[in-house]
Amino acid sequence: MNRILSSSGLWSWIQRSWAAILLSGKAIFFLITRKLDFSSSLEQMMAVGPASLLIALVTASVIGMIFTIQVAREFLQLGAGSAVGGILAIALARELCPVMMAVVVAGRVGSAFAAEIGTMKVTEQIDALYMLNTDPIEYLVIPRLVACCIMVPALSILALFTGLTGGLIVAQMYGIADTVYLDSIYNFLDVWDILSGPIKGVVFGALIAIIGCSWGLTTRGGAKGVGQSTTAAVVTSLLAIFVSDLFLSWLMFQGLGQGATMIGQ
């Protein structure tokens, strides 16, 4: 059994996942007990947020457009064109924006965390930090964690507006009036829908930072080990984002929705 686990890499993945869970606990402890390094956190925020902005906004607007194409052509057949904006808004606010922004950040930033920290690990820089009486969790992990927990929700909010704007452009092409589209969004979307995206964004941001940093800190070997950690960190982050989204959606949206009752109004 052990041989099967280790030859498939599953045993290593389980060990690293456990290390990531332990790292989460330590990070929370450090966040509570130690002073936050604002300049380092700000530096990481710039790397996570503004540096991801263009790709995030392009992704959001394109997804808004694609979603509107598919919804508009079906709903217009049903005579429910007035619901297109609302359905798009619900999908973007609750699921698409936080998940897509998390995917973008995991691919762009989570991989960079794993590669940078992994390189530091194999070139003894992490040991050097210890010798300088500096805990790598405090110096490397906390600023990245704070940056992701702030910037992924912020990107989700921006993506919602960009996605809706993209949807508006496509809706006009299908003959849906601006006022109908915007009224639909206003009627369908409630405060909880708008809040759910950033709340999910905080969780996804924490997962991306912890997994990226933990996979980096547990890197072994040389360049090959860094490469493997980087790939594994992205794959694990994506898996964690999708699985946690399932649980978050289940917890946050229990019972029946009110959206369908608005169709035709």
Partner 1 sequence: MVEPLVELKGVSKSFGSKKILDNVDLKIYPGDALGVIGPSGTGKSTILRIIAGLLKPDAGEVYIQGQKRQGTIEEGEPSLGVGMVFQQSALFDSLTVDENIGFALYRYSKLPPKKIRELVERKLEIVGLPGTGDLYPAELSGGMRKKVSLARAIITDPNNPDNAPCMILYDEPTAGLDPIASTRIENLIHDLLFKQGLCRAYAIVTHQASTIRLTTERIIFIYQGKIQWDGKREEAYVSTHPLLKQFFSGSIEGPIP
Q: In this chain, which stretch among 55-63, 122-130, 155-163, 200-208 interacts with partner 1, using CB under 8 A?
A: 122-130
Q: Where are the alpha helices (DSSP H) in 49-177?
A: 50-77, 84-91, 97-105, 111-122, 125-131, 136, 142-173
Q: In this chain, which stretch among 50-58, 123-131, 240-248, 255-263 interacts with partner 1, using CB under 8 A?
A: 123-131
190 sits near partner 1 (criterion: CB under 8 A): no
Query: Tokens standing for 80?
Result: 């429910």
Question: 114, 140 in Cβ contact below 8 A?
Answer: no
Sign, Cα dihedral of 31, 240, 229, 6: positive
Task: Give the contact letters, 133-162, x = binds to partner 1 (CB under 8 A), - = no.
Answer: xx----------------------------
Task: Give the contact letters, 80-119, x = binds to partner 1 (CB under 8 A), - = no.
Answer: ---------------------------------------x
Cβ proximity to partner 1: between 106 and 115 the closer is 115
The whole-angstrom separation of Cα 212 and Cα 198 is 20
Residue 255: left if φ>0, alpha if ψ -120 to 50, beta else—which one? left
Cβ proximity to partner 1: between 136 and 167 the closer is 136
Cβ proximity to partner 1: between 108 and 252 the closer is 108
Type and span of the H or E element at 242: helix 223-252
18 sits near partner 1 (criterion: CB under 8 A): no
The whole-angstrom separation of Cα 185 and Cα 216 is 42
Cβ proximity to partner 1: between 123 and 172 the closer is 123
Residues of the shown chain interacting with partner 1 in the complex, contacts defined by CB under 8 A: 119-120, 123-125, 127-128, 130-134
